[in-house]
Amino acid sequence: MSSQQPWKSDRWFTSPWNWLPEVREAMAFPAQIRIHDVTLRDGEQQTGVVFRREEKVAIARKLAEAGVHRIEAGMPAVSAEDEAALKDIVELGLPAEIFAFARCMPADVKLARECGVRGIITEIPSSEHFIRNAYGKTLEWAIQASIETTLAAKEAGLYTVFFTIDSTRADLERYMDLVERVATEGHMDALTVADSFGGCTPQALAHVIGKLKARFRQPIEIHCHEDFGLGVANTIAALAAGASVAHVTVSAIGERAGNVPLEDTVMALLCLYGVDTGVRTEKLYELSKLVQELAGVTLPPNRPIVGDWLYRIESGIVAMFHRRAGAIEPLEYIPFRPELVGRPGVEIALGKGSGLANIEEHLERRGLRATAEQANALLALVKQRAVEKKGLLTDAEFDELSREVLGDGRK
């Protein structure tokens, strides 16, 4: 990445507007941003997803291999199998720090400590309406439970992250008072602001993170959801305001619309903001593939960063860009090189939206030549076949059509 043109490197080409001084001066990214992956806990809460013990271990290995800093490996209180998986992961001695998730109950802390984890994420509802309506409890109950549990975590020698459920729908002053009491009467090594239902905006989160940093000395972590599609934007806004840990899942698996995707967050930070988290981006595609397989989920083919058809080009005009600029400047028509995330390269497809450039590409691949008239005739047949089948053509179908137009004695 050039210090003169950080928006353009040999691996990505994004907007120079991102680097206007007036834009940059509003950001205060911390010196180090840590990625806290919650695939094995919050990700597994996606309806129908079950990770077996050995599968959790396999995912944890891949997360560590990709350079993820912290792995929230599960909630031991859920089941004996989850507890066993957590212990297995701890015993691997991975370079990532292993955390457990716990309710605000000292018994959960005891279980986590017995698993040998480095730290604990302990949760409590923080909006009065949620405490009352969802838990049937009072605000004072939430405060006292948090104080008791965080003190137990401190005594157990665990790095204690106080996770406040539904932070963003709480009254701000009452929310900060709750955190203050836990920080002073209990124990808090870090605070997680949770946009549990994805209902906050980037501007609001940036503002509140600033207020929290001014009031509390502990690091701030950010945990968002994708209900309105703003999870990545909200996470980055919080980091730009000084939060230092981002909670993510692989490929956004998680309850309802899912959690914030690891891939999008890390790549946006690197390519759009110039913030290198240290995650090995070339491992992202294979990591996503593993999680999809073990979770039994399928991503949309045009999913950002890791979608299988992201760089499968049907459009005739983009195929033309590929043929003209591909060898000279491949980043003219794609924002980042496929190898940056370990994904397959650009592929020219054949379909209704194809143009002559698509036909030329496939003919050249086969060592075939066609006159302009033949190429146009072949294109018309490709489009017709695509409409008939409502999809892309296979290689065999193109071979059939090319024989029809060029004859059997082609070469």
Specify if 307 maps to a domain: no
Interval 70-99 mean pLDDT? 96
Residue 343 in contact with residue 310, Cβ under 8 Å?
Answer: yes
- Mark residue 342 as left, alpha or beta (left: phi above 0; alpha: psi -120 to 50; beta: remaining): left
Average pLDDT over residues 364-370: 95
Residue 183: the pLDDT is 96
Mean of the pLDDT values across residues 56-69? 98
Residue 11 lies in a domain: no
Judged by DSSP in three states, 122 sits in: strand
368 with 330, same domain: the answer is yes
> Of 295, 326, 360, which residue is a domain's last?
295
Residue 131's SS3 state is helix
Same domain, 185 and 316: no
Higher pLDDT pick, 411 / 60 = 60
Residues 279 and 330 in one domain: no
| Residue-range definition of the domain harbouring residue 330 | 312-406
pLDDT beyond 80 at 289: yes
Domain count, the chain: 2
Q: How confident is the model at residue 4 (pLDDT cuts 50, 70, 90)?
A: confident
Q: How many residues are there in the chain? A: 411
Residue 371 within any structural domain of the chain: yes
The CATH number covering residue 37 comes to: 3.20.20.70
Structure tokens at 56: 């959790």
According to DSSP, the residues that pair with 159 across neighbouring strands are 119
pLDDT of residue 46: 96
For 245, the token pair is 């840990």
- Stretch 3-10: mean pLDDT: 88
Q: Which of 269, 228, 263 is nearest to 249 (CA)?
A: 263
Distances (CA, A) of 289 to 59, 294, 342, 373: 11, 9, 11, 43
pLDDT number for residue 272? 98
- What dihedral angle (degrees, nearest 10) is formed by the CA atoms of 76, 80, 85, 87? 70
Structure tokens at 406: 């060029």
Q: pLDDT band at residue 151, thresholds of 50, 70 and 90?
A: very high
Both 234 and 340 in a single domain? no
The Cα 314–Cα 316 span in angstroms is: 6
DSSP states of 211-258: HHHHH--S-EEEEEB-TTS-HHHHHHHHHHTT--EEEEBGGG-SSTT-
User: Does a structural domain hold residue 236?
Assistant: yes
- Residue 130: inside a domain: yes
Say if residues 314 and 392 touch (Cβ distance below 8 Å). yes
Task: Show Cβ contacts of residue 120 under 8 Å, excluding neighbours closer than 6 positions.
Answer: 99, 100, 101, 102, 109, 112, 153, 158, 159, 160, 161
Establish if 148 belongs to a structural domain: yes
Last residue of a domain, one of 270, 295, 320: 295
For residue 186, tell me if it sits in a domain. Answer: yes
Torsion region of 56: left, alpha or beta (phi above 0 gives left; psi -120 to 50 gives alpha): alpha
Asked if 260 and 331 sit in the same domain, the reply is: no
201 with 110, same domain? yes
Residues 243-271 pLDDT 10s: 999 999 999 999 999 999 999 999 999 99
pLDDT of residue 32: 96
Query: Does a structural domain hold residue 301?
Result: no
34 shares its domain with 129: yes
Calculate the CA 140 to chain-centre distance: 35
Spatial distance between the Cα atoms of 124 and 142, rounded to a whole number of angstroms:
6
Q: Are residues 325 and 291 part of one domain? A: no
Task: Look up tokens 């759009």; give the residue.
Answer: 272
- pLDDT, average across residues 185-206: 97
Domain check: are 358 and 270 in the same one?
no
The rounded mean pLDDT for the chain is: 95
391 in the same domain as 322: yes
- In degrees rounded to 5, what are phi and psi of residue 193? -85, 120
CA pair distance 60, 41, nearest whole angstrom: 12
Nearest to 164 by CA among 149, 244, 154, 156: 149
For the chain, first and last CA: distance in Å?
44
Q: What Rg value do the Cα atoms of the chain yield, rounded?
A: 25
In sequence order, the β-bridge partners of residue 246 are 35, 222
pLDDT tens digit string along 219-234?
999 999 999 999 999 9
Same-domain pairing of 46 and 150: yes
In a shared domain, residues 147 and 273: yes
pLDDT of residue 397: 97
Q: Does residue 411 carry a pLDDT above 50?
A: no
The pLDDT score that the predictor gives to residue 328 is: 87
Mean pLDDT over residues 73-90, rounded? Answer: 95
Contact 262, 50 (CB under 8 A): no
